[in-house]
C-alpha cells in the first residue's frame, strides 16, 4: 500500500510568484518524513503539490516532476481526483464539514469512493477510524451531532479520522497538532507511528521535538531572503539533522539561533 | 485600600456618538417597518370587512366572498408554484455555473446579464409573453394534448392562442429567475474555501465538492431566494393580466384557454369598473393575498431555521 515519492527539480508558482524552487527529495515508503522551516518558506505549498491540491488555487502551477511508485503524478493522463483519493490530507486548520454529522464526516471520503458499504460495515469503519484518531470515547454518544460542535482539537482529530477512513496510500499532514493539547498531540504521534506501518506519512511541523520524536527523515526549508523562493536546504535522516546537520543554517534554526 | 465602605464610583461606560446614532436609526427603521405593516393590515381588514358581512347575494358571483376568492387563490398559487418549480432549479444551476465553472473574467459579465433580467419592467414581460412566447408554445400545447392528455395537467383542449396557465407560469419564471440566481450566487461564492478544499482533498470531483461543501452551505440562501421569488410571483399583476386568458373556475389544466385568474391580476382588471361592495370584495381578496405572502415568508423562516446548527453559518 505505502508508496515512495520522488520529487525532482520542482518549482512551484502562484501566478508569476515563485514560492518554492528546485526541490529534490525522495520520500521513503512506510516512514514518517517531517518538514520544518520558518513561516512562509513554502512547506504547505510543497506539501500541497504532492496531492495536486496546489492547482486548486487559481493561477497556481508547478514545473518539475513528482513521481509516486514510478507513476508521474502530473502526467497528462492523470486525473487529479484519483491522485487525491490515494493521497489523503489533514489541513493546518481543522475543517470538518459543518453541515454533516460526526458520523457522516468520517465516512464522507468512503462515500465518494463509491464503494457501497453496508450500514454495519460503515458503523464498524466509523468506530475504527475514530478510535485510531483517539476521539471515539469523546463522541460515541453523539455521532449524529454536527462536527462543527466539537472543540478545535476534537475537530482536528475528526479530520484525521476522516482522512484515514479511506485508507490512503500516503497521508500528508500540515501542522496537524498546532491546535491540540499535549495529550492529544502525543496520541496523534502514537497514531502516526502506528499508521506508518501501512502508509507513507509526510508531516509539516513547527515543533522540533515532534519532528525529532516521530520522524525518520527531516527536511529543512528556508528562504534565501525576503521575496525569494523557498528552498529545501537540507534533507537527511532525522538523527543526523538534530545531531550533526550538514548546513549551518539548519543548525541555527534547530538551536533557535534563527534570524 | 480605601477606608470608606462605599465602592468607588464606576466610570460611566462611554457611549460614542456614532454608536448612539446607529442604534437609534436602526431601532427607528425597525419600528417604522412594523408601523407600516400594521397600517396596511388595518386598512385591508377595515375595507374588506363589509364584504364578509354583506349577504352573499349582493356580491359578485352571488355566493359569498369565500367562493369568490377561492378560484383566485387557486390561480395565484398555481401560477406561482409553476414559476417556482421551473425557476429555482434553473437559477441554482445558473448560479453554480457562474460561480464554479466559468472562468472568473467571464463570470462577472454573465452574472451581470442575468441581473439585467430583473431590470426589465413587468409590462415588457407581459408583451413578450403575449407576442412571442404564447404563439411559440401553441404547437407544443397541441402535441402535449395528443400525447400527454392522460395527465390532468395536459388534458386540453389545447389553447389556440397559447395564453395558458403554463405560459403565464413560464413568464413568471423568467421574471423571478434573476432574484433567485443573484441570491444563490452570493451565498455560493461565500462557501468557505476551507470546506471546499476539504472535499477536494478527499478526492471529490467538482460536482461532488459542490454537493458536499457548497449546496449544504447555500441551502438557506436558496430557500430565501426562492421565497423572495415566490413573493414576486404571487404579487405579479401586469404580466399575468396580459398573458393569461381568464375565465374563472378551478382547473388543473395548464394548456387550455379556460383558466382561473390570480388575485393581483383580478384586482387590476376589475378595480377600474368597481364601486361599492365590489371594491370591498376586491380588497378582501387583497387581504387574502397579504395573508398568503405572510404565511409563505414565515414558512420559509421556519425551514431555514430548522437545521440552523447544521447550517455552517458559524
Ligand atoms: N494562495 C496563495 N496565493 C499566493 N501566494 C501564496 C498563497 N499561499 C501561499 N502563498 C505564498 O507562498 C509562500 C509560501 O507559503 P506557505 O503557506 O507554503 O508557507 P509555510 O511554509 O507553510 O508557512 P507556515 O509555516 O506559516 O504555514 C509565501 O510567500 C506565501 O505568501
Ligand atoms: Mg503552512
Cα–Cα distance list, A220 to A40, A210, A252, B287 (Å)? 13, 14, 11, 73
Beta bridge pairs of residue A33: A202, A217
* pTM for the predicted model, two decimal places: 0.81
Is a pLDDT exceeding 90 seen at residue B104?
no
Note the pLDDT of residue B107. 86
Pocket of ligand 1 (CB under 6 A): A 14, 17, 19, 39-45, 57
The answer to whether the Cβ–Cβ distance between B194 and A91 falls below 8 Å is yes
**Which residue has 403565464 as its cell numbers?**
B168
Cα of A121 vs centre of ligand 1, distance in Å, is: 40
Please give the Cα distance from A146 to A142 (Å, whole number): 9
Mutating to test ligand 1, I would choose from A13, A14, A225 the residue with most ligand atoms within 8 A of its C-beta, which is A14
Note the pLDDT of residue B4. 52
Ligand 1 atom closest to the CA of A15, numbered from 1 = 4
- Angle between helix B17-53 and helix B277-306 axes, rounded to 10 deg: 130
**Interchain contact B101–A (C-beta under 8 A):** no
Nearest chain B residue to A50 by CA: give it. Answer: B201
pLDDT class of B167 with cuts at 50, 70, 90: very high
Is a pLDDT exceeding 50 seen at residue B1?
no
If you count them, how many residues does chain B have?
314
**Which residue has 526541490 as its cell numbers?**
A23
DSSP B237: -
CB burial string A45-64: b at 16+ within 10 A, e below: bbbbbbbbbbebeeebebeb
CB-CB contact of A166 with A113 (8 Å): yes
Mutating to test ligand 1, I would choose from A35, A38, A42, A233 the residue with most ligand atoms within 8 A of its C-beta, which is A42
User: Nearest residue CA, atom 11 of ligand 1?
Assistant: A19
Q: What is the pLDDT of residues B4-60, one digit of tens each?
A: 555 666 666 677 888 899 999 999 999 999 999 999 999 999 999 988 888 877 777
Q: Please name each of the domains of chain A with its CATH number.
A: 5-96+170-254 (3.40.50.300)
Strand pairing report for A87-90 and A217-223: unpaired
Q: Cα-atom radius of gyration of chain A, to the nearest Å?
A: 18
The answer to whether the Cβ–Cβ distance between B310 and A53 falls below 8 Å is no
Mutating to test ligand 1, I would choose from A17, A35, A40, A177 the residue with most ligand atoms within 8 A of its C-beta, which is A40
**Interchain contact B194–A (C-beta under 8 A):** yes
pLDDT class of B314 with cuts at 50, 70, 90: very low
Cα of A43 vs centre of ligand 1, distance in Å, is: 8
Distance of CA A153 to the CA centre of its chain: 16
B78 grid coordinates? 398555481
Mutate to test the interface with A, among B189, B198, B199, B309 (most CBs of A within 10 A): B198
CB nearest B312 (choices: A53, A98, A101): A98
CB-CB contact of A224 with A206 (8 Å): no
**Interchain contact B250–A (C-beta under 8 A):** no
Looking at every residue in chain B, the average pLDDT score rounds to 87
Nearest chain B residue to A101 by CA: give it. Answer: B310
Note the pLDDT of residue B2. 46
Distance of CA B188 to the CA centre of its chain: 20
Q: Compute the nearest-CA separation of B225 from chain A (Å).
A: 20
The answer to whether the Cβ–Cβ distance between B213 and A97 falls below 8 Å is yes
Strand pairing report for A60-68 and A5-14: antiparallel
pLDDT class of B310 with cuts at 50, 70, 90: low
The per-residue pLDDT string of chain A (259 residues; one tens digit each, 9 = 90 and over) reads 568 899 999 999 999 999 999 999 999 999 999 999 999 999 999 999 999 999 999 889 999 999 998 889 999 999 999 999 999 999 988 999 988 999 999 999 988 876 677 888 899 999 999 988 888 999 999 999 988 888 888 898 899 999 989 888 899 999 988 877 888 788 888 888 988 888 899 999 999 999 999 999 999 999 988 888 999 999 999 999 999 999 999 999 988 865 4
Q: Which residues lie closer than 8 Å to B247 by C-beta, 6 or more apart? A: B257, B258, B259
B139-159: average pLDDT:
86
Distance of CA A49 to the CA centre of its chain: 11
Q: Strand A5-14: give its sheet, edge to edge.
A: A71-72, A60-68, A5-14, A17-27, A230-237, A217-223, A32-36, A200-204, A170-174, A87-90
The answer to whether the Cβ–Cβ distance between B310 and A149 falls below 8 Å is no
Is a pLDDT exceeding 90 seen at residue B196?
yes
Note the pLDDT of residue A258. 56
Note the pLDDT of residue A23. 94
Q: Please name each of the domains of chain B with its CATH number.
A: 42-52+64-119+170-239+261-305 (1.10.3720.10)
Q: Which residues lie closer than 8 Å to A202 by C-beta, 6 or more apart? A: A5, A27, A32, A33, A34, A35, A47, A50, A170, A171, A172, A173
Prior bond of B157 cis (ω within 30°) = yes
Q: What is the pLDDT of residues B217-257, one digit of tens each?
A: 888 889 888 988 998 899 888 888 889 888 888 888 888 88
B155 grid coordinates? 388534458
Amino acid at each position: 500500500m505505502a508508496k515512495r515519492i520522488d520529487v525532482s527539480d520542482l518549482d512551484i508558482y502562484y501566478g508569476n510568484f515563485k514560492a518554492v524552487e528546485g526541490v529534490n527529495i525522495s520520500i521513503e515508503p512506510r516512514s514518517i518524513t517531517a518538514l520544518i522551516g520558518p513561516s512562509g518558506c513554502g512547506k504547505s505549498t510543497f506539501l500541497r503539490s504532492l496531492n495536486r491540491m496546489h492547482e486548486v488555487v487559481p493561477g497556481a502551477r508547478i514545473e518539475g516532476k513528482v513521481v509516486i511508485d514510478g507513476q508521474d503524478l502530473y502526467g497528462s493522463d492523470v486525473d487529479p481526483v484519483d491522485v487525491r483519493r490515494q493521497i489523503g490530507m489533514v489541513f493546518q486548520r481543522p475543517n470538518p464539514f459543518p453541515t454533516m454529522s460526526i458520523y457522516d464526516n468520517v465516512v464522507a471520503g468512503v462515500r465518494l469512493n463509491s464503494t457501497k458499504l453496508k450500514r454495519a460495515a460503515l458503523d464498524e469503519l466509523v468506530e475504527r477510524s475514530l478510535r485510531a484518531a483517539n476521539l471515539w470515547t469523546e463522541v460515541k454518544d453523539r455521532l449524529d451531532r454536527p462536527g462543527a460542535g466539537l472543540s478545535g482539537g476534537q475537530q482536528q482529530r475528526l479530520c484525521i479520522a476522516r482522512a484515514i477512513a479511506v485508507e490512503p496510500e500516503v497521508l500528508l499532514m500540515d501542522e496537524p497538532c498546532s491546535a491540540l493539547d499535549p495529550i492529544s498531540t502525543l496520541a496523534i504521534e502514537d497514531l502516526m507511528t502506528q499508521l506508518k506501518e501501512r502508509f507513507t506519512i509526510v508531516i509539516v511541523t513547527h515543533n522540533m521535538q515532534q519532528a525529532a520524536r516521530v520522524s525518520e527523515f527531516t527536511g529543512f526549508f528556508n528562504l534565501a531572503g525576503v521575496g525569494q523562493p523557498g528552498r529545501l536546504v537540507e534533507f537527511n535522516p532525522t538523527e543526523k539533522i538534530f545531531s550533526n546537520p550538514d548546513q549551518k543554517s539548519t543548525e541555527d534554526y534547530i538551536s533557535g539561533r534563527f534570524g | 485600600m480605601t477606608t470608606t465602605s462605599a465602592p468607588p464610583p464606576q466610570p460611566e461606560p462611554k457611549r460614542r456618538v456614532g454608536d448612539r446614532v446607529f442604534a437609534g436609526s436602526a431601532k427607528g427603521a425597525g419600528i417604522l417597518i412594523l408601523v407600516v405593516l400594521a397600517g396596511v393590515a388595518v386598512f385591508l381588514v377595515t375595507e374588506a370587512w363589509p364584504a364578509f358581512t354583506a349577504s352573499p347575494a349582493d356580491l359578485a358571483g352571488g355566493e359569498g366572498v369565500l367562493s369568490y376568492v377561492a378560484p383566485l387563490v387557486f390561480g395565484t398559487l398555481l401560477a406561482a408554484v409553476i414559476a417556482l418549480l421551473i425557476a429555482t432549479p434553473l437559477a441554482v444551476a445558473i448560479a453554480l455555473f457562474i460561480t464554479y465553472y466559468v472562468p472568473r473574467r467571464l463570470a462577472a459579465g454573465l452574472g451581470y446579464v442575468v441581473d439585467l433580467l430583473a431590470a426589465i419592467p413587468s409590462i415588457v414581460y407581459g408583451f413578450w409573453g403575449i407576442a412571442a412566447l404564447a404563439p411559440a408554445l401553441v404547437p407544443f400545447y397541441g402535441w402535449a394534448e395528443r400525447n400527454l392528455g392522460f395527465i390532468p395537467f395536459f388534458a386540453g383542449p389545447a389553447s389556440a392562442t397559447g395564453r395558458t396557465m403554463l405560459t403565464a407560469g413560464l413568464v413568471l419564471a423568467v421574471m423571478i429567475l434573476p432574484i433567485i440566481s443573484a441570491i444563490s450566487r452570493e451565498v455560493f461564492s461565500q462557501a468557505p474555501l476551507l470546506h471546499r478544499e476539504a472535499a477536494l482533498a478527499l478526492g471529490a470531483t467538482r460536482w461532488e465538492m459542490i454537493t458536499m461543501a457548497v449546496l449544504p452551505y447555500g441551502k438557506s440562501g436558496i430557500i430565501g431566494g426562492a421565497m423572495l421569488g415566490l413573493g414576486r410571483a404571487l404579487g405579479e399583476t401586469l404580466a399575468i393580466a396580459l398573458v393569461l386568458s381568464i375565465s374563472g373556475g378551478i382547473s388543473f389544466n395548464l394548456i387550455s384557454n379556460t383558466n382561473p385568474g390570480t388575485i393581483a391580476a383580478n384586482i387590476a382588471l376589475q378595480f377600474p369598473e368597481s364601486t361599492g361592495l365590489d371594491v370591498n370584495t376586491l380588497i378582501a381578496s387583497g387581504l387574502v393575498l397579504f395573508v398568503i405572502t405572510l404565511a409563505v415568508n414565515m414558512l420559509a423562516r421556519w425551514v431555514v431555521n430548522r437545521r440552523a446548527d447544521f447550517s455552517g453559518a458559524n
